[in-house]
């Protein structure tokens, strides 16, 4: 096994280090993405070149989503985003500028959450990661991600990512 694939095989658990803001648990997530072709001409559509990584929810039958989880007090927000992407999806890369912040109600209880989302330009996809045995990961198109993603706030973040990438000069893609 290559050294780069030797990550801690245990995801963080427990809530003792969780951050809260006015009673809302703070969670951080990423939209892992890649571009199928890096030379985008004027005849190329960004959505044809862009793929995003969705993962299965931990609970069976609860749909697909982007990696996200608790932001802990011993890490920066970008470190939390990177950790969640590694633990849940087994991908590493560059965490880019924040897409936004959303307040949403938990699907599992009556709690409210504050969700922060970032784009993650994937540089590496690992064969082994902490939640490999409990999650599936799938690269999909933007329209497919909007169809299968269970959270409306994550779909909004995806729209913001597409808008941001469309406004980036193609020489930077």
Per-residue pLDDT tens over the stretch 38-90: 555 544 577 678 999 999 988 766 789 999 999 999 999 999 999 999 999 99
pLDDT band per the 50, 70, 90 thresholds, residue 130: very high
| CA separation for the pair 66, 53 (Å, rounded) | 7
| CA separation for the pair 116, 29 (Å, rounded) | 6
Per-residue pLDDT tens over the stretch 10-43: 555 556 788 888 888 899 999 999 998 655 554 4
For the chain, give the percent of residues with pLDDT over 70.
Answer: 80
Label the pairing between strands 137-140 and 50-56: antiparallel
User: Structure pTM?
Assistant: 0.83
140 versus 42: which is more confidently predicted?
140
Token pair, residue 109, equals 């209880």
Sign of CA dihedral 6, 129, 106, 81: positive
pLDDT at 23: 83
Could you give phi then psi for residue 95, rounded to 5 degrees?
-80, 125
Please compute the mean of the pLDDT values over residues 135-155 and round it to a whole number.
94
Token pair, residue 81, equals 């985003």
| CA separation for the pair 109, 140 (Å, rounded) | 29
């Amino acid at each position: 096994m290559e050294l780069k694939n030797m990550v801690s095989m245990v995801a963080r658990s427990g809530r003792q280090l969780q951050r809260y803001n006015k009673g809302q648990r703070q969670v951080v997530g990423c939209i892992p993405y890649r571009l199928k072709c890096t030379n985008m001409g004027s005849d190329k559509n960004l959505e044809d070149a862009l793929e995003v990584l969705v993962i299965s929810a931990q609970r069976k039958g609860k749909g697909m989503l982007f990696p996200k989880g608790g932001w802990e007090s011993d890490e920066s927000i970008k470190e939390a985003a990177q950790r969640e992407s590694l633990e849940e999806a087994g991908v590493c890369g560059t965490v880019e500028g924040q897409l936004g912040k959303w307040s949403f109600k938990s699907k599992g209880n009556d709690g409210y959450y504050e969700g922060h989302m970032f784009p993650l330009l994937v540089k590496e996809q690992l064969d082994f990661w902490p939640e490999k045995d409990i999650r599936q990961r799938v690269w999909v198109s933007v329209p497919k991600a909007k169809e299968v993603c269970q959270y409306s706030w994550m779909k909004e973040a995806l729209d913001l990512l597409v808008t941001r990438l469309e406004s980036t000069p193609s020489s930077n893609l």
